[in-house]
């Protein structure tokens, strides 16, 4: 029972991370296309700046939950996906540095360098996360000892790359909608236009990825076994369609929340289809790492559950306060503050 609870929490933590960090990763990757001058770029930075490090808390929490609740899965994941995860880590480090270093020197070349670094270090984690999770859905080549039989290029298979493209489009739409929420004037118009242009591509890729998933993975087995689970992809589809409806209405907060729901339920669709597997083996199903054969002791799971029930609501509370307190648009006047990026 505790293993199942922690598997659900594990999936929810990843879903929340993708929802929150997704908008600033997508916006960072899109910045060269959206920001046409220094004022635009500073508005983009300041629309992400107060939130990005708080969003990263959910990545740490998801990784920590994996380590503490499913240590065997954590060990095998970081062994088999070491190169991809190391690239992800370096990119996230560089991205954090961009926020702090860009404004330290008043030089166009200096700022241009960090702007490029921001775009690359936002795009790369988005792609890698999509590739990694798509490969997990498909199954990775691990043997009975948990040894990974492959390389980084093994992960760059057609289905893995399709997952990467899906994540890139999901996050870019999410990020452009966030900028539409936080900006005004021409910059907001460009963000809105970008969201409108990217949404049809996202719809096509989402449909193709769903069909690809049906062909190359076993994710749908749980859905045919437990029909109530179809609500997960159902809500994802409805949210994606509502995102477009709200974009057309220029209801930017509503469209951003609809996009958030899309990301959450797309993630939960994949996680729900995986259960009880955490790392399915493509060599032999018997070699798969599950929530039951990789879990910590019952005592550890009980203690962790108690801690999570106390700490997670606190994190949700303070992040909700931050988003409410800083809900206003970023304007040129805000850039004059000493604390502005």
Average pLDDT of the residues in 8-18: 94
Q: Give 212-261 as a DSSP string.
A: HHHHH-STHHHHHHSGGGGHHHHHHHHHHHHHHHHHHTT-HHHHHHHHHH
pLDDT of the residue at 252? 95
**Cβ distance 235 to 264 under 8 Å?**
no
Average pLDDT of the residues in 117-127: 95
Average pLDDT of the residues in 167-192: 96
With bands split at pLDDT 50, 70 and 90, how would you rate the model's confidence at 27?
very high
pLDDT of the residue at 154? 87
Give the range among 163-172, 193-202, 295-304 with minimum mean pLDDT: 295-304
pLDDT of the residue at 115? 94
pLDDT of the residue at 85? 87
Per-residue buried b or exposed e for 127-163, using 16+ beta carbons within 10 Å of the residue's own CB: bbbbbbbbbbbbbbbbeeebebeeeeeebebebbbbb
Average pLDDT of the residues in 247-257: 96
With bands split at pLDDT 50, 70 and 90, how would you rate the model's confidence at 78?
confident
Q: Does residue 178 register a pLDDT over 80?
A: yes
d(C-alpha 332, C-alpha 44), whole Å? 11
Give the range among 101-105, 155-159, 172-176, 334-338 with minimum mean pLDDT: 334-338
pLDDT of the residue at 19? 95
Task: Report the interhelical angle of 108-138 vs 252-274 (nearest 10°).
Answer: 40
Tokens linked to 252: 């930017």
With bands split at pLDDT 50, 70 and 90, how would you rate the model's confidence at 181?
very high
Q: Helix, strand, or coil here: 331? A: coil
Q: Helix, strand, or coil here: 140? A: strand
pLDDT of the residue at 280? 92
pLDDT of the residue at 334? 79
With bands split at pLDDT 50, 70 and 90, how would you rate the model's confidence at 228?
very high
Q: Helix, strand, or coil here: 148? A: strand
With bands split at pLDDT 50, 70 and 90, how would you rate the model's confidence at 191?
very high
pLDDT of the residue at 25? 95
Q: Does residue 332 register a pLDDT over 90?
A: no
Run of H or E residues at 114: helix 108-138
Q: How confident is the model over 138-173, as pLDDT tens digits? A: 999 998 888 888 888 888 899 999 999 999 999 999
Q: Does residue 222 register a pLDDT over 90?
A: yes
Q: Does residue 341 register a pLDDT over 80?
A: no
Ordered by where they begin, the domains of the chain are 2-336 (1.20.1630.10)
Neighbour count for residue 199 (Cβ, 10 Å):
23
Q: By percentage, how much of the chain surpasses pLDDT 70? A: 99
Average pLDDT of the residues in 85-111: 91
pLDDT of the residue at 159? 95
Tokens linked to 150: 């492959």
């Amino acid at each position: 029972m505790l293993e199942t609870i922690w598997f659900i929490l594990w999936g929810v933590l990843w879903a929340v991370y993708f929802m929150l960090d997704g908008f600033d990763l997508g916006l960072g990757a899109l910045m060269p296309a959206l920001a046409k001058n220094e004022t635009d770029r500073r508005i983009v930075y300041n629309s992400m700046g107060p939130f990005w490090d708080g969003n990263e808390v959910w990545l740490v929490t998801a990784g920590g939950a994996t380590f503490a609740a499913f240590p065997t899965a954590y060990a095998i994941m970081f062994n088999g996906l070491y190169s991809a995860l190391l690239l992800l880590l370096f990119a996230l480090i560089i991205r954090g540095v961009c926020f702090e270093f860009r404004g330290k020197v008043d030089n166009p070349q200096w700022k241009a360098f960090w702007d490029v670094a921001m775009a690359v270090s936002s795009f790369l984690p988005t792609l890698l996360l999509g590739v990694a999770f798509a490969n997990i859905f498909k199954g990775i080549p691990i043997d009975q000892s948990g040894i990974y039989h492959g390389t980084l290029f093994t992960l760059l298979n057609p289905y893995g790359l399709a997952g990467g493209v899906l994540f890139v489009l999901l996050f870019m739409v999410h990020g452009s909608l966030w900028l539409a929420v936080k900006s005004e004037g021409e910059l907001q118009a460009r963000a809105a236009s970008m969201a409108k242009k990217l949404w049809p591509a996202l719809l096509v890729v989402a449909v193709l990825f769903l069909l690809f998933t049906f062909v190359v993975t076993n994710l749908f087995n749980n859905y045919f076994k437990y029909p109530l689970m179809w609500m997960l992809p159902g809500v994802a589809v409805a949210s994606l369609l509502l995102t477009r409806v709200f974009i057309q209405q220029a209801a930017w907060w509503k469209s951003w929340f609809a996009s958030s729901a899309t990301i959450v339920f797309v993630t939960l669709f994949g996680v729900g289809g995986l259960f009880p597997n955490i790392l399915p083996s493509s060599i032999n199903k018997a070699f798969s790492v599950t929530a039951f054969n990789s879990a910590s002791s019952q005592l550890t799971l009980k203690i962790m559950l108690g801690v999570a029930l106390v700490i997670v609501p606190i994190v949700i509370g303070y992040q909700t306060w931050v988003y409410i307190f800083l809900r206003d648009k970023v304007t040129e006047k805000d850039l004059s503050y000493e604390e502005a990026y």
